[in-house]
Amino acid sequence: MKPYAENDIIDILNSDDLQVLQELLQSATKCRLENIGDKVYLRGLIEFSNYCDRNCFYCGLRKGNRQLKRYRLSKEEIVQTAMLAFNSGYHSICLQSGEIDSPLEIDFLVEVVEEIKELSQKADKDSKGLGITLSVGELSYHQYKRLWEAGAHRYLLRIETSVPQLFGRIHPPSQKFETRVECLRALKDIGYQTGTGVMIGLPGQTAEHLLQDLKFFQAEDVDMLGMGPYIPHRSAPLSKLSPEQQLDPYTTTLKMLALCRLLMPDINMVASTALQSINPQGLRMGLKAGANIVMPVLTPDDMRGNYYLYENKLYKKPQELVEEINSCGYTLGLWEWGDPLHYKRRIKVKVGDA
């Protein structure tokens, strides 16, 4: 089956035939093994602060959620957690927080990145040190550039939905679709390995919207994708909306992962925590659908529970995740960065063109 025609994609996304899902997953597994092999790379996720300046209608960290206990890790705590990860074989970490953009917060993050790079390169002179991914929202070109120069080399910024009208329904008017697209382009221009993604199963989201998302990922030529099901959060206004129509978040996420693997065989793609939270088989099935990245949460125990994006967010110990990945027959890619093949090719083309 070659699900490349637009009509086929719409039919697949709308289908509730399990046979269709099975065949799609089989094709995605085959495609993944042929193109990027059986490795699964780990990214240690450090959720260093749950403060956020934004008010996305779906998210538990939104500024308007006064019930949430806010925290911010100190520089020492972040660096220590990162180095612990490095010394146990994670050669990539992701530093994530709610949206930050005050000059002081950027200065803080620049220092953190510089210190992690310096210490990890010193600790293992034969390696390039820790690979650092950032996910801290919409910043200015200059701020992205400062963080790049400090040593971060990947950035995740989800578009959430590539359909401007739907984007407008799940964000306050001050948050603009166009700004997010501009940010993604700035990141790529600076040189970051750039990742985006969408939520799946949003109220009012249709197969046609998801097809548009697939086209958006291709048009923006992204290196990485992080997609997951939308899961309501009781303190976020979107949870009060009774959906007039809703695609099944779990199976539709699996289909979107598989379609992305088939359409973009050499990108890196995450089996997200949301996918694992919504179904106990989420990790196994996400890998089957072509995901090759897992992000174990390394946020210290006493803070972790407060990074509560949606209801029933799952926490699994890193060791449990490793065992699960092994038991599915994949090879763990430890002690290496695991950059997306897509990025390596993209850069080569750029150099060749010059």
Residues that bind ligand SF4 (CB under 6 A): 52, 54, 56, 59, 61-62, 98-99, 137
Q: SS3 helix, strand, coil % of the chain, rounded to 5? A: 45, 15, 40
Closest CB 156 distance from ligand 5AD, rounded Å: 8
Contact 289, 252 (CB under 8 A): no
Among 90, 216, 230, 308, binds ligand 5AD (CB under 6 A): 230
Among 117, 154, 171, 233, binds ligand 5AD (CB under 6 A): 233
Contact call for residue 274 and ligand 5AD (CB under 6 A): yes
Contact call for residue 286 and ligand 5AD (CB under 6 A): no
User: Which is nearest to 25 in space by CA: 245, 273, 328, 326?
Assistant: 328
Q: Which does 54 bind (CB under 5 to 8 A by kind): ligand 5AD, ligand SF4, none?
A: ligand SF4
Angle at 231 between CA 228 and CA 106, to 5 degrees: 65
Residues of span 8-27 touching ligand 5AD by CB under 6 A: none
Q: Give the span between the Cα atoms of 334 and 194, in whole angstroms.
A: 21
353 torsion bin: left (phi>0), alpha (psi -120 to 50), beta (else): alpha
Q: Which is nearer to ligand 5AD, 203 or 333 (CB)?
A: 203
Q: Which is nearer to ligand SF4, 157 or 321 (CB)?
A: 157
Q: Which does 144 bind (CB under 5 to 8 A by kind): ligand SF4, ligand 5AD, none?
A: none
Q: Which does 62 bind (CB under 5 to 8 A by kind): ligand SF4, ligand 5AD, none?
A: ligand SF4
Write the DSSP assignment of 37-49 as a string of letters.
TTEEEE-EEEEEE
Contacts of 41 (CB under 8 A, 6+ apart): 92, 268, 292, 293, 294, 333, 336, 338
Q: Per DSSP, what are the bridge partners of residue 132?
A: 93
Closest CB 215 distance from ligand 5AD, rounded Å: 19
| Number of chain positions touching ligand 5AD (CB under 6 A) | 12
Closest CB 34 distance from ligand 5AD, rounded Å: 30
Q: Tell me the residue length of the chain.
A: 354
Residues that bind ligand 5AD (CB under 6 A): 58-59, 158, 160, 199, 228, 230-231, 233, 274, 309-310
